[in-house]
């Protein structure tokens, strides 16, 4: 009987050593969760009959350290939650490894090639439907300019020009000229020139020219300022043009906030909407899980949001690999949210979660297993010596 008990101890210790060795080997594996071999006694009726490994459990709830990588599409979860992905067989699985990229079709995938699940672009503040995240990797179309915001100080020290008849080719007929950019429906860039002409103590006329063409006097706008230098009355003007092959453009130029104080003339804002077409140049992830596509025309747009899943009993998830799990009846159904919403943790972008293996504890466990192995081996040796002495006595 003692021989069988000692043998069961050696077999159980071998299984424990496999678990410890696997933990140590994966100490540098991103998202790895350490396992523990749990011993259980074996009974024959009411008599002890040795030991066995009753179960092997993973410490899923303990997070590993956050390791900075600097890569735009790496993310670690700070708190609870799992990234959600679907493999080629349609199985939904969960992982803490946030290594993402896009495939040839622009679909967001994880390091194993599984399709990452997330929400579509938000509309009116509401996230889109959950599913595969499609990244537009082609060109985005041009958007025609509809407005220009110009804010500055039109100096109260200006005097009316010496040349009383405005002429864009004669600098003595205006006080200042400023250029703003505008795009037509094809994305072609145009230059809108604003000629400021002081006509009275608190009055300034503005003429508009496009791409060096002579300004149309009919588009002139008159700006008036009160005794405190604040703009009153008309606050905007409109300039129209038609690019080659493009539809006609009408651009509103807004002067709200412009002043007329003494001192130098200054410009604080000269910003237009619209842009040329642009090619996809890269994808980044924000801490709130939103995926931002960037384009060559300096534009960016949110193309989706990563989803995180939480469980009532995450420790009961069934492992399908060392870093991936699937849900079951004991774990409960997945509750999905955007990062930072509900129970889901926030994201640390440009970083990954390391293994939660404690090397010191594993090495101590390794030494303990070695002593237990030696003790059981000693029992076998003693048993053998006793049986040999008994046989010799007979």
The full DSSP string for 21-53 is: HHHHHTTTSTT---EEEEEEEEEETTEEEEEEE
Model pLDDT, residue 54:
80
Q: Which of 130-134, 247-251, 361-365 has the lowest mean pLDDT?
A: 361-365
Is the model's pLDDT at 10 over the cut of 90?
no
Contact 337, 344 (CB under 8 A): yes
Band (pLDDT 50/70/90 cuts) for residue 394 is low
Task: For residues 63 and 353, give the distance between their C-alpha atoms in angstroms, rounded to a whole number.
Answer: 8
Domain spans of the chain?
2-61+355-393, 66-140+279-353, 147-272
Band (pLDDT 50/70/90 cuts) for residue 3 is low
Of 285, 304, 309, give the one whose Cα is nearest residue 93.
Answer: 309
Q: Which of 207-211, 325-329, 386-390 has the lowest mean pLDDT?
A: 386-390
The top-level CATH class assigned to 147-272 is: mainly beta
Is the model's pLDDT at 1 over the cut of 60?
no
Report pTM. Answer: 0.73
Task: For residues 218 and 207, give the distance between their C-alpha atoms in angstroms, rounded to a whole number.
Answer: 9
Of 229, 77, 241, 107, give the one whose Cα is nearest residue 158.
Answer: 229
Q: How many residues does the chain have?
A: 394
Average pLDDT, the chain: 89
Contact 212, 191 (CB under 8 A): yes
pLDDT in tens, 253-270: 999 999 999 999 999 999
SS3 state at 286: coil
β-partners of residue 78 are 346
pLDDT in tens, 15-33: 888 888 888 988 999 999 9
SS3 state at 199: strand
> Mean pLDDT across the stretch 93-103?
94
Beta strands at 115-119 and 130-132: parallel, antiparallel or unpaired: antiparallel
Model pLDDT, residue 73:
93
């Amino acid at each position: 009987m003692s021989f069988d008990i000692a043998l069961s101890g050696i077999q159980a210790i071998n299984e424990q050593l496999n678990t410890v060795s696997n933990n140590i080997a994966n100490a540098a594996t991103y998202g790895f969760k350490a396992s523990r071999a749990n011993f259980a006694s074996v009974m024959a009726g009411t008599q002890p009959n040795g030991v066995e490994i009753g179960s092997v459990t993973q410490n899923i709830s303990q997070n590993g350290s956050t390791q900075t990588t600097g890569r735009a599409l790496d993310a670690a979860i700070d708190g609870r939650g799992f990234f959600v992905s679907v493999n080629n067989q349609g199985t939904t699985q969960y992982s803490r490894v946030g290594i993402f990229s896009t495939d040839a079709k622009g679909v967001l995938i994880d390091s194993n090639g599984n399709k990452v699940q997330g929400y579509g672009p938000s509309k009116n503040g509401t996230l889109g439907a959950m599913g595969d995240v499609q990244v537009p990797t082609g060109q985005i179309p041009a958007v025609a300019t509809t407005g220009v915001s110009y804010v500055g100080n039109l100096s109260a020290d200006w005097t009316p020009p010496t040349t009383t008849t405005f002429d864009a080719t004669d600098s003595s007929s205006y006080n200042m000229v400023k250029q703003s950019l505008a795009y037509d429906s094809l994305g072609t860039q145009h230059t809108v020139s604003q000629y400021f002409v002081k006509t009275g103590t608190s009055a300034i006329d503005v003429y508009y020219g496009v791409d060096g063409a002579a300004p149309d006097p009919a588009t002139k706008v008159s700006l008036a300022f009160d005794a405190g230098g604040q703009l009153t009355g008309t606050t905007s003007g409109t300039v129209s043009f038609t690019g080659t092959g493009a539809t006609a453009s009408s651009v509103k130029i807004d002067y709200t906030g412009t002043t007329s104080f003494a001192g130098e003339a200054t410009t604080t804002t000269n910003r237009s909407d619209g842009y040329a077409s642009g090619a996809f140049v890269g994808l980044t992830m924000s801490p709130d899980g939103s995926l931002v596509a960037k384009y060559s025309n300096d534009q960016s747009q949110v193309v989706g949001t990563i989803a995180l899943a939480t469980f009532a009993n995450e420790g009961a998830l069934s492992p399908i690999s060392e870093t991936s799990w699937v849900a079951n009846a004991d774990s409960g159904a997945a509750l999905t949210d955007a990062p930072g919403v509900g129970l889901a943790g926030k994201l640390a972008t440009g970083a990954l979660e390391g293994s939660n293996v404690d090397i010191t504890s594993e090495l101590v466990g390794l030494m303990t297993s070695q002593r237990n192995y030696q003790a059981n081996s000693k029992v076998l040796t003693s048993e053998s010596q006793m049986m040999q002495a008994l046989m010799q006595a007979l």
